[in-house]
Structure 1
């Protein structure tokens, strides 16, 4: 196939070296091992702040998402040991529950790491998966590029490290175990390219079906992008005149393999897909504004917050938040890729041009999609409709955030980078001014985007009331317990503390609210409700959030107490507790004193138990009368 760089045959080695085959094999494995160690070391460097103290350190730029994924790790152990539904739970957001299939449930990870979660805690599982995701992504891209596109391991290694540790994936390392699983793309692409192998349609179809099932359970949105990119590549490549006959000959084999893939993936994903699109507590959209979460056009030319470039004042705040800096390549790298693409095209044979055309088409499509429905330039939106305007309400596209399409551009840049480096290393571009200029440009382009370690901050440790199981004296089996403030993305303590109890096993409690994606409270008859972040707020949880977030201590009235009685009955709350230390979100310190004052005024005097204040809730009575 024209996408593959032909590997030198063993027979081409000098016959005077009988051990040349084994020697070459050792050199290949040594290169693989070196790349794996380098990728792992860089991943540990990036996540080092969490490894320093995983139990009381949290990612400063995304406290809420880290708590959510730690909760999923804890629920994974609960799923394995209790036989619960991995795609729906009422332990969170009681009494309605949460559709985990419509969220990012990373089911494969939670099950595989269940033993580690039980032995060391969800905190360790979280940072382990995050580290392995980054290292594994770089290594998987290295293997893919080495197998299909370049001859030299050095070219594949540099490009693989770029793909695994590009600014977009470093930004998503702030809490996103789904988006840092960048290894899914090269592994799926590898299998897509193998679909055309004669006589192996059954085996390749089975493999791809299994990969799709795994990929869906870890990063459904990322898998959608990979499938879309693969489709664009295959169609554009197949239409090239130089390879049209080759594509036509491979079509029956590819279609047979895809039929097997559809059967396997459909069988394995039947229930998850039903839950995702039609199960209880499902929704449309994500609760995020698709006109806000777009990639600023200028962001492609600047540097992200966690890079060497920013240390020298070259960065710019152009992302919606620091978790979504999905391009931020810098002007030198963008220019290098454009010049390299032109040079590669000029020097390419017709078959390789077909590959370059298809890769370029993928990059261009995803570049434009990342700009969303209207172009944003230096945070100014221009009233010019873009193609995404016609796509944003379609299924799958309506659940995507446009700026994340830029993550596919990383792979396109990585491929072009690998190809030009391969020509530089092999001296197919002769030593001279052009060779020296391109080599210098590579260094100047990549140095500023070398990542800095992720920012971390302190978070409240698990209170002894939870860790020692004292809570069981206050909550009956199947009962509901909540921390103050109620669990949300910006007040995530209660949700992660529940995760720790699930990881230990045994009896569990339910919690109201929580951080997740769910439906709005109401919608049009016969129409799926729009998505939102968390549960629709009720008066009582909003009272405590205002106290913690803004330090407000309102004058509690009898109407507030009556509303609290109604809300607590709705949630089925048996007890409420306030820890001595509570954690805010993203550099925000919660006002614990205001929370306590509000709780005493609303609920009466608490009990001091271990290191928390506890309020017992007797349903049907006014909270303050206790």
Structure 2
């Protein structure tokens, strides 16, 4: 069976296309591609208007983290650095990038653009292409396997690419917006049964798994779970037993090849992920908190047309994790559509529909997490996720993100019911008119608004001009004030920009990443945490920046600072003219300056920053 051949009736039996439509598929392909790209630019237009000075206000920290990774891609190629571990952050321990979202394939492929235009431009480019590519590839998948109409496939594909959950993750997540991974993997899985091509198909699937692991490991894990569950449910259906028997041996051989290829290519990344230095278990995020509220499925997202009329919801842990939020009209439409499509399906198609429905139901229940939540209140009702939460891989997953699989199931149902309408298989003009109106009424409220943005601190000339090199030895340690965290990540951005230019580089303490709870401890694998464990001195600056709190320093504080500086090997710190905070947060730069001056003495005014040199062994009190 070739890719272009009609799919077997049991698994994907779209109505035959007329010869004229088959002969001119590129017209529809180009139309959907243009619509998808236009929609993606619309969603991200705030960043495109000024990528160097605008940032996603709902997730400043993740934007800085991914910009840092993109800069590190240039550094990796220029210095032969390890793409899965770095000592440039979190001095003196470093960061296990394999255990973080390292997007290594992206950082290498886009390194030329990053070097030419900077991580800021590369970030918004990848974000835009992710959204557009997801919609377009789902369109191709649906048209190949499930529907014949480009309109039905286009509508379903656009929903899969721009569903509320994916728009939510467009607030900074280059991994989760890579929704195009799922249709490619599932497409290749469905091709594994092609007779005589098990070696080639298995090899291609293995390459895909290896590449996509470094782009969206958690999303790939969910895709594998969904694809595996679908295959098991479909294969046990009575109408397809003969088809299963005929393909069983071919599929097993192909899966074996895929496992060997992916295993060989991922041996080192997987070792680093599970057993390398600075690895950890879990993520540092509470799974009971990052679980989907059941009422969220009936609510509208904060970046939607419905939200313009005050109908948005705050049932999610933050605006980046609104992973369901379909609204009552769309949920009702999906229920009705599932019934209508089922009633008109042939026995072979019902095997496919049963598997799709059950995958959607299972993932919906799992997305609710270990306890039942309704309207922001946790009920003492245990759910299936509680039995999975401590298992390997599941312990590092956030259950609410499983709702993204439900969004894809809804997109598939939308395509299927639209195909039924276009084929005239819905009985009665009133029902057809009503169903068409219901589709419009369900989709308009969740039509996305552009992601929110804000101004951010411009790159200091001190960094851009390379002046910083006069204050740090080769491979020395320097930091912006306050030290980089997810809520004030400027220091991480400054390092990203120096890496993107190539040449000399400095290291820095702290940073925004995932790491072990306690640095340097041996023995049992530790739980994860966000960032490095805070020391008293960097907490002085963070407290001053976030709350404007200026403490009266004692000799003990200065002695502690000397110890902390020696721990980091810190040679200099600098303070820019402004500090960027999340969600338009006002940070207290003057409080940071007062704290630093009290601790370290008067600063040097260099270019557009204040600089304090730190000399090893010299107590700040003596300055």
Same fold (TM over 0.5): yes
Q: Does 1:554 align with 2:562?
A: no
Deviations 1:255-284 (A, max 9, x none): 000010001100111100000000000000
Aligned partner of residue 586 in structure 1, secondary structure: helix
- In the aligned structure 1, how far is the partner of 2:60 from the partner of 2:175? 16
- In the aligned structure 2, how far is the partner of 1:568 from the partner of 1:593? 22
Deviation at 1:523, TM superposition (A): 9.8
Q: Does 1:233 align with 2:241?
A: no
Aligned partner of residue 416 in structure 2, secondary structure: helix
Deviations 1:89-108 (A, max 9, x none): 00011110000000000001
Deviation at 1:586, TM superposition (A): 2.1
1:256 to 253, 257, 260: 253
Change (3 A) 1:329 1:523: farther
Structure 2: gaps (5+ residues): 1-7
Counterparts of 1:81-230 in structure 2, within 5 Å, are 81-230=78-227
The answer to whether the 8 A contact 1:484-1:578 is kept is: yes
- In the aligned structure 1, how far is the partner of 2:73 from the partner of 2:389? 33
TM-score normalised by the chain length of structure 1? 0.97
Aligned partner of residue 488 in structure 1, secondary structure: coil
TM-score normalised by the chain length of structure 2? 0.97
Deviation at 1:525, TM superposition (A): 6.6
1:499 to 491, 496, 499: 496
Aligned partner of residue 382 in structure 1, secondary structure: strand
Deviation at 1:345, TM superposition (A): 1.2
- In the aligned structure 1, how far is the partner of 2:619 from the partner of 2:551? 18
Deviation at 1:587, TM superposition (A): 2.0
Deviation at 1:6, TM superposition (A): 4.3
Deviations 1:170-211 (A, max 9, x none): 000000000000000011000000000000101100111011
2:74 to 72, 77, 80: 77
Deviation at 1:624, TM superposition (A): 3.6
Counterparts of 1:374-413 in structure 2, within 5 Å, are 374-413=371-410
- In the aligned structure 2, how far is the partner of 1:534 from the partner of 1:248? 51
Aligned partner of residue 552 in structure 1, secondary structure: coil
Greater mean deviation of Cα atoms: 308-317 or 383-392? 308-317
Partner of 1:5: 13
Partner of 2:368: 371
- In the aligned structure 1, how far is the partner of 2:521 from the partner of 2:611? 41
Runs of 4+ in 1 over 6 A off after TM superposition: 522-525
- In the aligned structure 2, how far is the partner of 1:104 from the partner of 1:476? 30
Partner of 2:23: 25
Deviations 1:128-187 (A, max 9, x none): 000000000000100000000001000000110101000000000000000000000011
- In the aligned structure 2, how far is the partner of 1:431 from the partner of 1:572? 77
The answer to whether the 8 A contact 1:522-1:529 is kept is: no
Structure 1: gaps (5+ residues): 14-19
- In the aligned structure 1, how far is the partner of 2:225 from the partner of 2:556? 54
Deviation at 1:81, TM superposition (A): 1.3
2:306 to 309, 332, 341: 309
Q: How many residues align?
A: 615
- In the aligned structure 2, how far is the partner of 1:24 from the partner of 1:362? 31
- In the aligned structure 1, how far is the partner of 2:466 from the partner of 2:522? 45
Partner of 1:17: none
Aligned partner of residue 215 in structure 2, secondary structure: helix
Deviation at 1:623, TM superposition (A): 2.1
CA RMSD, aligned part only?
1.2
Deviation at 1:24, TM superposition (A): 4.1
- In the aligned structure 1, how far is the partner of 2:417 from the partner of 2:121? 39
Deviation at 1:5, TM superposition (A): 2.8
Counterparts of 1:250-399 in structure 2, within 5 Å, are 250-399=247-396
The answer to whether the 8 A contact 1:88-1:101 is kept is: yes
Counterparts of 1:520-531 in structure 2, within 5 Å, are 520-521=517-518, 526-531=523-528
- In the aligned structure 1, how far is the partner of 2:621 from the partner of 2:39? 55
The answer to whether the 8 A contact 2:281-2:528 is kept is: yes
Deviation at 1:524, TM superposition (A): 8.8
- In the aligned structure 2, how far is the partner of 1:134 from the partner of 1:624? 54
Counterparts of 1:539-550 in structure 2, within 5 Å, are 539-550=536-547
The answer to whether the 8 A contact 1:375-1:386 is kept is: yes
- In the aligned structure 1, how far is the partner of 2:312 from the partner of 2:506? 45
- In the aligned structure 1, how far is the partner of 2:575 from the partner of 2:212? 39
Deviations 1:50-77 (A, max 9, x none): 0010001000100000000000000011
Deviation at 1:568, TM superposition (A): 0.8
- In the aligned structure 2, how far is the partner of 1:409 from the partner of 1:185? 13
- In the aligned structure 1, how far is the partner of 2:292 from the partner of 2:313? 13
Q: Does 1:489 align with 2:486?
A: yes
